[in-house]
Amino acid sequence: MFVGATLMRVNGLFRRRLWTFLDHPSCSIHASCAVFAGHNKWSKVKHVKGPKDAARSRVFQKLSMMIRLAVREGGPNPELNTNLANIIEQCRSKSMPKSSIAGAIAGGEKSKSFYQLYEARGPGGASLLIEVLTDNMKRSLQEIRRLLSQNGALFADGARHKFEKKGIIVVGTQDQAGNPVSLERALELAFEAGAEDVQEEEDEEEKVTLKFICSVPTLRQVREKLDTLGLCSHSVSLEYIPTITAQLSDEEMDRTSQLLQALGDCQDVIRIYDNIE
C-alpha cells in the first residue's frame, strides 16, 4: 500500500492495534493512533511509573551495562556493531554524557553482565516480556520467579511470538521551525525516511507525540533522516511491539499494575513489555 492510498484510510486506522510489517519498509506505510492516556486506564497506569523509571542515575547505569555487553559480543566499533550503534543512539536521546558512553565502551571487554529475555503470562492471560541484564543469572531467575508467583503470574513459553522487536523514534508534533506536523504529514515523512508505521500517542505529561516505528537495522538511518527532514527526535529506543493484544478487566489490570511495579523495582530488570489493549 503506497502513501496515497494510506492517506485516504487514515481515519479508519486510528484505532488499529494490530500491524503487519513488511521486510522492506519503503513498500508500505501504516498509520495508527493509540488510545490516549486520558481515555484509557491502562495507559494511565503505565504513565504513572514513567517518571520513576526515567530516574537518570538508574537509566544511565543500565545503559552502561547494555553498552558493555554489546561491546563484549560485537566489538567496540559502532560502525561494525549495529547493536552497539543502536544503544548509543538511546544514550544520546537520554542525554547521557559522552564521557560515560566512552567509559562504558572502554570497559566492555571486561564486562561480566549477561542479557536474558524472560517470557511470562500475567493476570488475565496477558503476555509479558521481561528484559534482564545481570551479573548473576541464578539470583535474577529466583527473584523474578518469586515476584511472578506473588502476583498471580508465571513463566510461560510462547509469549515472545506475540511481539516484534522494532526501532522507535519519538518526535514532537512541531518541526524545527515551529510548524505543526499532522499525522498526514508524518506519513509522508515516514515514507521518505524509510519508517514502517506512525502512531500518535501521549507522553507522561499528556502531550501528544509522534512515534515512528522502523526495523531494527534501519533505526539509526531513519532517525538521521527524520532529523534532516526537520523533525527533532525526543527519544530513540528498541522496543517489543505486540502483534496480538489481550483485554483485561479492571481487577486484572490492577493486579497486573502491582506486578509491573514489583518487577520494575527489581535491580536487574531493564524493561517490561505487555500486550494489554
Beta bridge partners of 242: 163
**Averaged pLDDT, 212-222:** 92
Residue 261 belongs to a domain with what CATH number?
3.30.70.980
pLDDT band, very low/low/confident/very high, at 166 (cuts 50, 70, 90): very high
Question: pTM for this one?
Answer: 0.69
Task: Look at 225 and 59; give whichever has higher pLDDT.
Answer: 225
The number of domains in the chain is 3
Tens digits of residue pLDDT in 125-140: 999 999 998 888 999 9
What's the pLDDT score for residue 169? 92
From residue 141, alpha-carbon distances to 32, 111, 125, 163 in Å are 36, 20, 21, 22
Structural domain contains residue 39: no
pLDDT in tens, 77-89: 988 888 888 889 8
The answer, yes or no, to whether residue 174 has pLDDT greater than 60, is yes
Q: What is the mean pLDDT of residues 109-115?
A: 77
Q: Find the domain containing 122 and state its range.
A: 113-162+244-274
Q: Give the model's confidence band at 152: pLDDT under 50 very low, under 70 low, under 90 confident, else very high.
A: very high
Looking at the structure, tell me whether residues 156 and 58 fall in a common domain. Answer: no
Residues 28, 146 within the same domain: no
In this structure, the number of other CB atoms found within 10 A of the CB of residue 98 comes to 10
Say if 238 falls within a structural domain: no
pLDDT at 26: 36
For residue 8, tell me if it sits in a domain. Answer: yes
> Is there a domain that residue 75 lies in?
yes
Provide the pLDDT for residue 135: 84
Please indicate whether residue 83 or residue 166 has the higher confidence score (pLDDT): 166
CA distance 211 to 24: 19
119/255 same-domain check? yes
Same-domain check for residues 134 and 251 = yes
Q: Which long-range contacts (CB under 8 A, 24 or more apart) does 3-10 make?
A: 3/29, 3/187, 3/188, 3/191, 6/30, 6/31, 6/187, 7/184, 7/187, 10/183, 10/184, 10/187
Question: Both 78 and 121 in a single domain?
Answer: no
Residue-wise pLDDT tens digits, 3-42: 443 433 333 333 333 333 333 333 344 444 333 333 345 5
pLDDT score of 265: 84
